[in-house]
Amino acid sequence: MVAKEFTTERQHQTENTNMSDESTSNAKGNLEGAKAHAKQAAEELRAAAEAKARELKQTAETKAREFRDAASAKADELRGRAQEYYGEARERAKTWQEEGEVYVRQNPLKAVCTALFAGFVIGLLIRKN
């Protein structure tokens, strides 16, 4: 009877060991599957992040190009206006110079007296300060 109990107990231990081995094997299989799934998910996430980064880079480059073009156009416009104003001011100064020369030739005494008076007034203003 002891031998029979021993044999029965031994069979239970063998069955438990087989079941334990199967559980371990299943757990290892599940773990490997989970690892593979995690790696795949990480690769997909990395690929999506790279795609988004490329998209953002292209958008930023496009916006920078648009801003540069707009700034260049505005600078050209302002340069054109400045040249126009400079030309107008130069013409006005030239006209005043010519008119002043004509006035001095036509009224030399009046021009000299006006220049003396202006010099005297400027001298007084400078001397007081």
State the sign of the Cα–Cα–Cα–Cα dihedral 54, 56, 59, 61. Answer: negative
Tell me how far apart the alpha carbons of residues 13 and 1 are, in angstroms, rounded to a whole number: 18
pLDDT for residue 42: 87
C-alpha gyration radius of the chain: 50
Give per-residue pLDDT as tens, 106-117: 999 999 999 999
Q: Is the pTM of this model over 0.75?
A: no
Tell me how far apart the alpha carbons of residues 27 and 50 are, in angstroms, rounded to a whole number: 34
pLDDT surpassing 80 at residue 68? yes
Count the residues in the chain.
Answer: 129
| 107 conformational bin, left if phi > 0, alpha if psi -120 to 50, beta if neither | beta
The token pair at 46 is 């990395």
Give per-residue pLDDT as tens, 25-42: 777 777 788 888 888 988
